[in-house]
Amino acid sequence: MGDCKRYEGFTRERLERLKQGLTKIGLNPPEGDSGLIESMGVKVSVSYVASEQALEICIVEKPDFIPAALVWSQVEAALKT
């Protein structure tokens, strides 16, 4: 896959807080441990591996006028919850 980042030491509790935070801002996180999050033409895949306590996030699709750095800054902001 294209532009991906992996976050280590990511607990189940932190994942649940992230999902709650995304819901509060109007995004629909996946029900399980993996899936797509879509907003304004941007598609991001998320995959949580509980046994490794790792979260991998990949930019799957985005409009050309939206820089990847902007997407990652939004991801990083959401991860701080």
Domain borders along the chain are: 3-79
User: How far apart are alpha carbons 81 and 40 in whole angstroms?
Assistant: 22
Sheet of 34-39, strand order: 3-8, 54-61, 42-49, 34-39
Report the percentage of the chain scoring pLDDT > 70. Answer: 96
User: How far apart are alpha carbons 53 and 71 in whole angstroms?
Assistant: 23
pTM over 0.85: yes
At residue 4, φ and ψ (nearest 5 deg) are -125, 155
Q: Which amino acid is at 57?
A: I
Q: What is the CATH number of domain 3-79?
A: 3.30.310.50
Quote the tokens at residue 79.
């991860």
Convert the pLDDT of each residue in 25-36 to its tens digit: 899 999 999 999
